[in-house]
Amino acid sequence: MDPREFWRKSAKVWLCLILLCAVLLGFYSQVTHRVVLQQMQLEKKESSEGDCHLDTCRIPEVPRLVYPKAQLLKPTRVDVLVMTPWFAPIIWDGTFDSAILDAQFRNITVGLTVFAIKKYVVFLKLFLETAEKHFMVGHKVNYYVFTDQPAAVPQIPLQEGRQVVVLEVRSYKHWQDISMHRMEMISNFSQQRFLREVHYLVCLDVDMKFSDHVGVEILAPLFGTLHPGFYAGDRQSFTYERRPLSQAYIPRDEGDFYYAGGFFGGSVPEVYRLTVACHQAMMADQANGIEAVWHDESHLNRYLLYHKPSKVLSPEYLWDEQMLQRPPLLRKLRYVAVPKNHAEIRNR
């Protein structure tokens, strides 16, 4: 055969083969490019998530704003402590400027978890309506309503960027069990969906209503709220669990504050860790045949003693007008108890 003939014939085949390889290479590199990009984004998100030391995690950029200047030699509140000894701000009215904070916390989504089991569904309407007026106004909010009666969740008109997500869960016979299993349910759902959907989680009691601004000033990697009955008390008088057998045990000479079980939260990874730890502690107690004196609240207090919160909310953020006289140091009442008949609502 003529070599040129041979070359001409096989050249076409070779050319086609080379072109095919080139096209395949092109596709492959495009695909890996996209996969690598996605991986980088995931890594970036993971490393910039809530895992960090006591400081606030973010240095977000704020646009040019006009606001009054802080005076170094003029403390804003002289009647109360505004910072814990481990540098966690204690949020009182007058200590923060919402304009700056809103600019720092643009583009975040806040998840609010609330449990409306058995008769507690009656509280949902007022809770959600007042939340629409006062809770994180101007930011994206997902209300996660845990209930055993999805049909009983009222339809509330919502502002833009806010939605109600109804999560059906089982109910328990005793109200103490319902209260304690909140930790387990939050931890399960944190892993399954909250991590992907929101930046921060706020875990609230449902038998309450919002009466004043509750905004991004509360957001931190981990925060707790001062219980309204104990903010002025000595650590010996705190109703911590005092039996050493319990996992929630705190000795008499320890303790910073008595935190309320009805308002805590933080970044999703930190809330996940808290709820898992509390749930495991409660399971251990159950195995040892003991139940902490204030149930999940006792376990929460133990956790927050040894994992210091990065922000503490003052009793403005959780108050009961029926049970307590309002002192002058509380300039605002933001989240208050709704009057209820305890005996009737808790059992059956």
Tokens of 275: 């709820």
Buried b (16+ CB within 10 A) or exposed e, 295-309: bbbbbbbbbbbeebb
Is the Cβ–Cβ distance between 319 and 313 less than 8 Å? Answer: no
Residue 330 has a CB neighbour count (10 Å cut-off) of 18
Residue 79 among known ligand-binding residues: no
- Minimal distance in Å, beta carbon 83 to other proteins? 5
- Minimal distance in Å, beta carbon 44 to other proteins? 8
Strands 109-116 and 200-204: parallel
Which one is catalytic: 184, 241, 270, 297? 297
Residue 205 among known ligand-binding residues: yes
Q: Is 316 among the catalytic positions? A: no
Question: Exposed/middle/buried for 115, CB within 10 Å: 0-12, 13-18, 19+?
Answer: buried
DSSP track, 157-193: ---TTEEEEEEE----SSHHHHHHHHHHHHHHHIIII
Give SS3 for 324.
coil
Q: Which residue has the tokens 């904070």?
A: 101
- Minimal distance in Å, beta carbon 297 to other proteins? 19
Residue 59 among known ligand-binding residues: no
Residue 342 among known ligand-binding residues: no
- Minimal distance in Å, beta carbon 321 to other proteins? 20
Residue 100 among known ligand-binding residues: no
Cβ nearer to other proteins, comparing 56 with 191? 56
Would you name the residues annotated as active-site residues?
Answer: 297
Binding-site annotation, residues for UDP-N-acetyl-alpha-D-galactosamine: 115-117, 120, 205-207
Binding residues: 115-117, 120, 205-207, 227, 239, 297, 320
